[in-house]
Amino acid sequence: MAGPSKSLILDPALQKYYDLNANRYKYFRWTPRHAWLSVLYMAVIPGALGYIAYKTEGKYELRGKRRGDTVSEW
């Protein structure tokens, strides 16, 4: 028979994990590691990707060849 069971016993370790996950913001502390990771993910990686995109803009032709196009582009 399907449906809720009256004898359902919840695992205390899972309940503790769920509560911790729901209240994660209450247990967060800024540490040097957290600060470094935040700077890395919010500034360094987007900055590096932006720099690479800016330097290679227009350098590559990603459109496929079509009928009538010449084989060499240069």
Q: pLDDT at position 6, please?
A: 72
How far apart CA 67 and CA 34 sit, in angstroms, is 54
Q: Which range has the top average pLDDT, 3-7, 18-22, 40-44, 56-60?
A: 40-44
Q: What is the pLDDT of residue 73?
A: 62
49, HSE (Cβ side, Cα atoms, 13 Å): 7
Among the ranges 7-16, 18-27, 33-42, which has the highest mean pLDDT value?
33-42
* pLDDT, tens only, 32-74: 999 999 999 999 999 999 999 999 988 887 777 788 777 776 5
